[in-house]
Amino acid sequence: MEDPYQTDARPSFRNLIGVFILIFGLMLYAFGAAAIGDWLEERKVWLWVQMAYYLFAGILWLFPARYLFKWLGKGRTPN
């Protein structure tokens, strides 16, 4: 009986590139978002504005990541 979870697809070079883009992109995004948050705190911006910024910054990265994951999903090559 065949295992339904076994696949013959190998990861492609696209997956390697995508993982590096994801890791380094998220790292740069996190440093940038933290720098802006620190700038807001130094300027004594109201707490609710800071909270709204962090909520916005926490959700914003999902939109480019969605396209990256779609692009990564196209990279499977069957053997």
pLDDT of residue 65: 92
Q: Is residue 5 part of a domain?
A: no
Average pLDDT, the chain: 86
Q: Is residue 45 part of a domain?
A: yes
Alpha-carbon distance 22 to 12, whole Å? 16
pLDDT of residue 47: 92
User: Distance from first CA to last CA of the chain, Å, rounded?
Assistant: 20
Domain count, the chain: 1
CA torsion, ordered 24, 60, 36, 30, to nearest 10 deg: -20
Q: Is residue 23 part of a domain?
A: yes
pLDDT digits (tens, 9 = 90+) for 12-36: 788 889 999 999 999 999 999 999 9
Q: Is residue 3 part of a domain?
A: no
Q: Is residue 58 part of a domain?
A: yes
- pTM of structure: 0.72
Alpha-carbon distance 29 to 32, whole Å? 5
Whether residue 64 has pLDDT greater than 80: yes
Measured at the alpha carbon of residue 42, what is the angle toward residues 24 and 46, in degrees to the nearest 5? 105
Q: Is residue 49 part of a domain?
A: yes
pLDDT of residue 36: 95
Range of the domain at 27: 10-73
Q: Which two tokens stand for residue 44?
A: 């004594």
Q: Is residue 60 part of a domain?
A: yes
